[in-house]
Amino acid sequence: ASQASGASSRYKIRWKVVNPDQDRLRYRLRFRADGQALRRAMFTEDTTLTATTYNWETGGVPDGWYRIEVEASDELDNPEDHSIRAATESEPVLIDNHAPRIEGLRFSRGEVSGRVRDAVGPISRLEYAVDGGAWRQLHSEDGILDTAEESFRFGPLRLEPGSHIIAVRAADHGANQITAELEAVFR
């Protein structure tokens, strides 16, 4: 059995402006996937954004790297033919709304092994718990969590004879996490 949970799909955007004449400014925000030319609006033209922050709901875009364009306009205080617009684009930002997957979770001879994969990575945390106990840190087989795919192996576990539930929990850099468990019989 496995259960996925995740961080918020809202990405907070903040920017600073230099506005020497103190005109009221209106902002338009657009985004594009890194490597694409087409910019898409984050909200409709009838929205008038005047704050220098915006919570972008990213649940409707695929995981990946994006660039955000902020356009500022002083059209609220000036006639159309005298208003000024300026835009700037961000460095790439990572949108990651999906939890990694735990694959091949198995128990053999007192050891637990498996693999964690994420669409964009990297995997940032691995833990395990036995019978609902405290979570314990787990290392990848190569000793460092730094890629979108990590293999793990731990044990041998020495538990009382009988059935035990061993859970493995993994999280990616976007704070999305998943838990998978298996039942192991000790003799």
Whole-number pLDDT of residue 121: 84
pLDDT of 1 over the 50 cut: no
Report d(CA 56, CA 48) in Å as an integer. 15
pLDDT reported for residue 7 = 65
pLDDT at residue number 8: 77
Structure confidence at residue 3 (pLDDT)? 45
2 or 177, which is more confident: 177
78-112 pLDDT, tens digit each: 999 999 999 999 999 989 989 999 999 999 999 99
Which residues, including other chains, have CB under 8 Å from residue 132's CB and lie 6 or more apart?
165, 167
How far is 54 from 10, CA to CA, in rounded Å? 9
The rounded mean pLDDT for the chain is: 93
Q: What is d(CA 78, CA 55) in angstroms, rounded to the nearest whole number? A: 27
Looking at residues 137-152, what average pLDDT do you find?
A: 96
pLDDT given at position 168: 98
Q: pLDDT of 28-76, one tens digit each?
A: 999 999 999 999 999 999 999 999 999 999 999 999 999 999 999 999 9
